[in-house]
Chains A and B, each alone.
Chain A
Amino acid sequence: GRKIPTPKEPMTVPYRMRILAPNEVVAKSRYWYFIRQLSKMKKGSGEILSCERIHSKKPHMVKNYGVWIRYMSRSGIHNIYKEYRDTTEDGAITQLYREMASRHRARAESIQVIKIEAIPASKCRRNYITQFHDYNLKFPLPHRIPRKLNNPRFTTRRPITAF
């Protein structure tokens, strides 16, 4: 959401930030975290004018998102560029956090999203994204595994994998 704070001085400059957060509370907190680093403003001496949710444009179209992050690993701070395919920015960022957690053991608090941008297919750099850019893409479902492992738990029949 957007947040605009004014420090308690006359005619102070409001700042607006676009924060990615699961809820308003975290959003406001992260706002202060970033604003404190970027300007002489703290939560105690400032106020949030408004915190609004920004909805993604065209949530019914699949887009390619390029995400630039800065994250703290156990041995240093690194910049990473990642790409995701999703219908909304929220979705892409959620994917990002899950992936960073699983691949790099990075928790949400150590990740700073610098930028997220819907990029055209020609600008995508990752193979796992560009493989979906084939207009006539198609694939079968050769060996589908039924996931009902406990119902029944023991059986004498082999599972049917073509469905």
Chain B
Amino acid sequence: MLYKRYIEIGRVCFIRLGDDIGKSGVIVDLVDQKHLLVDGPDGIGRKVVRLNQVALTDIKINIPRGCKTKTVRTAMAKEGVEAKLAATSLVKKFAAKNAKAQLGDFARFKNRVAKTASNRKIRSTVRKLKKSS
């Protein structure tokens, strides 16, 4: 198959734009060409989102079309969606980006100092190697 991730019932998607950024939900129904009914039981709740706002993950669960939130919840628990999601690069990258944005000034200072020190070490080692070769 050329495409691996489809917009389909049961596909777990990650919200990448909008108010619920960073949260995930399962596609429960398709409203129209540009909107999905998504359900993330303890996150975004049951909501209509635009296709634009969504990034697809590799995770797909088995749920009937338009099912209730309770069904979604039990299906998610059964397939261990939480754990799988935490392992996806989308979630990890978002968490890392978020963590960086939450850093205080002192933390950023520490990072800068550490980076300069390591860069200096790298450059001096490279220079030594160039001279010896």
A residues whose Cβ falls under 8 Å from a Cβ of B: 60-62, 85-87, 132, 135-142, 147, 163
Given A85-B31, A132-B32, A141-B51: A62 touches B37 (CB 8 Å cut-off): yes
> B115 an interface residue at 8 Å Cβ cutoff?
no
Determine how close the nearest CB of chain B comes to the CB of A160; give it in whole angstroms: 12
Number of chain B interface residues as a range:
20 to 34
18 contacts between A and B (CB under 8 A): A61-B37, A61-B66, A62-B29, A62-B66, A85-B31, A86-B31, A87-B48, A132-B30, A132-B31, A135-B65, A137-B8, A137-B30, A139-B6, A139-B7, A139-B8, A140-B2, A141-B7, A147-B52
Contact partner of B7 (CB less than 8 A), chosen from A60, A87, A140, is: A140
Interface of B is mostly: strand
In the complex, what residues of B have CB within 8 A of residue A135's CB? 65
**Does the CB pair A140–B31 fall under 8 Å?**
no
| Residue of A whose beta carbon sits closest to that of B6 | A138
Pick the 7 closest A-B CB pairs, nearest first: A138-B8, A140-B3, A138-B6, A62-B29, A60-B46, A85-B32, A140-B6
Q: Which of B15-35 contact A (CB under 8 A)?
A: 29-32
